[in-house]
Amino acid sequence: MSLKEKLAELNEKGCTLTIQRHAVLEYLYENRTHPTVEEIYYSLKEKFSTISKATVYNTLELLNNYGLIQEITIEKGKLHFDYEVKPHHHFFCHRCNHVYDVDVVECPLAGKKMIDGHKIEELRPYIIGTCSKCL
Amino acid sequence: MSLKEKLAELNEKGCTLTIQRHAVLEYLYENRTHPTVEEIYYSLKEKFSTISKATVYNTLELLNNYGLIQEITIEKGKLHFDYEVKPHHHFFCHRCNHVYDVDVVECPLAGKKMIDGHKIEELRPYIIGTCSKCL
DNA sequence: ATCTAACATTAGAACAATTCTAAGTCAAGA
DNA sequence: TCTTGACTTAGAATTGTTCTAATGTTAGAT
Ligand SMILES: [Mn+2]
Ligand SMILES: [Mn+2]
Ligand SMILES: [Zn+2]
Ligand SMILES: [Zn+2]
């Protein structure tokens, strides 16, 4: 889904399109490395010196609630974010702390709405290990 | 794997079996609710008033490194732990913050050693949603 | 049995990530 | 123009985790 489409969807749903929100979403669009909040905040601060950490947190939560971005809890104690919301596996290297996409795998839960009586809203298939660069 | 077997394995591998380590492992053996560090610490403190938070953290890390327990990063910002190490799906209810086991699912990655050139060391298949009780 | 060196535990300080607060800014409608 | 509600800001507060330095315990050597 393109950046324009996501911005349009936000707008349609009645959400104010502030310059900060545009900047956060655009940053995620351009940086597909699954950045942390810190990375997003300091990168945006370079071009946009008055942006505050609270706004970055608020915006990421808002975009996540609208289903336009994805929160990743693969690394203990800190959040990563992903522009891509289509479910896919993530690989975390505990040596270099990078998060990689793993596109290949087909998940047997894909499309399922319920499991054990619980309502499925999001799949987060994570894999931990040592990445190809670190091996 | 029984508690006795895990304690024996620890001992064989040359790890000192202190009363605190025994208590942490036993707590996880008896409480299969995927407790947080806080829950473990305060529960142990009731029977064992001098145990310190640092020891609980150290012990959980040690047991995890020996592969005798499993760390769960499904909830943002805090760790849960599991006595069961055999890979299985976890379901997190974002309404009541409980972590449930989901036994049914067969993972296509089970047994795989490598993916995209990365070395797989652990699978963490997580599902987010609303649990049966909260629905 | 005693000594000793390595290892483990403790309390609390330090740290890092996130959330909260209160004041200031902005924009749209009356 | 004025009002109202929504958004942003800086920094304080809170939460979860790690570090530190002092103390306690263990196991092997004597
Ligand atoms: Mn991704
Ligand atoms: Mn489990
Ligand atoms: Zn790596
Ligand atoms: Zn629930």
DSSP letters for B101-133? EE-SPPPTTTT--EETTEEEEEEEEEEEEE-TT
User: Which one-letter amino acid corresponds to residue A80?
Assistant: H
A99 in Cβ contact with A80 (< 8 Å): yes
DSSP summary character for residue B86: S
Residues 6+ apart with CB under 8 A from B43: B27, B31, B35
> For chain A, what is the radius of gyration of the CA atoms?
16
**Which three-class secondary structure state does DSSP give residue B89?**
strand
Specify the pLDDT at position A57. 98
Contact at 8 Å (CB) between A115 and B102? Answer: yes
Cross-chain residue pair A91–B124, CB shorter than 8 Å: no
pLDDT score at B104: 74
User: In chain A, which segments carry CATH 1.10.10.10?
Assistant: 3-82
Tokens 């915006």 found at: A59
Is A71 in the B-facing interface, judged by CB distances under 8 Å? Answer: yes
Task: Output the pTM of the full model.
Answer: 0.95
Alpha-carbon gap: A121 to the closest alpha carbon of chain B (Å): 5
CB contact under 8 A, B132 and A125: no
Sign of the alpha-carbon torsion through B8, B9, B10, B11: positive
Query: What is the structure's pLDDT at B107?
Result: 84
Options 3.40.630.10, 3.30.1360.200, 3.40.50.920, 1.10.10.10; CATH of A3-82: 1.10.10.10
Among partner residues A73, A93, A121, which is closest to B74 by beta-carbon distance?
Answer: A73
The closest alpha carbon to B80, from A98, A93, A76, A116, belongs to: A76
Does B110 lie at the interface with A, CB-CB under 8 angstroms? no
Terminal C-alpha separation, chain A: 34
In angstroms, the separation between the Cα of residue B32 and the nearest Cα of chain A is 17
**A51 CB neighbours strand C below 7 A:** no
In this structure, what token pair is assigned to residue A105?
């795998």
pLDDT digits (tens, 9 = 90+) for B71-119: 999 999 999 999 999 999 999 999 999 999 998 778 888 889 999 999 9
Question: Is B41 within 8 Å of B56 (Cβ atoms)?
Answer: yes
Q: Which chain B residue has the Cα nearest residue A76?
A: B73
- Judged against a pLDDT cut of 90, whether residue B130 lies above it is answered with yes
**Measured between CB atoms, which of A77, A122, A131 is closest to B129?**
A122
**SS3 at position A22:** helix
Question: Tokens 């670190």 sit at which residue?
Answer: A134
Mean per-residue pLDDT over chain A, rounded: 96
Give the whole-number percent of chain A exceeding pLDDT 90.
93
Distances in whole angstroms, Cα of residue B106 to Cα of each of A91, B113, B126: 19, 16, 13
Question: Is pLDDT of A104 > 80?
Answer: no
Element (H, E) at B23: helix B19-30
B123 confidence band (pLDDT: 50, 70, 90)? very high
Give the minimum alpha-carbon distance from A58 to chain B in angstroms, rounded to a whole number: 15
Residue numbers 56-85 of B with CB closer than 7 A to any atom of strand C: 58-59, 76-77
The residue of chain A with its CA nearest to that of B75 is A73
User: DSSP string covering B39-55, please?
Assistant: HHHHHHHHH-TT--HHH
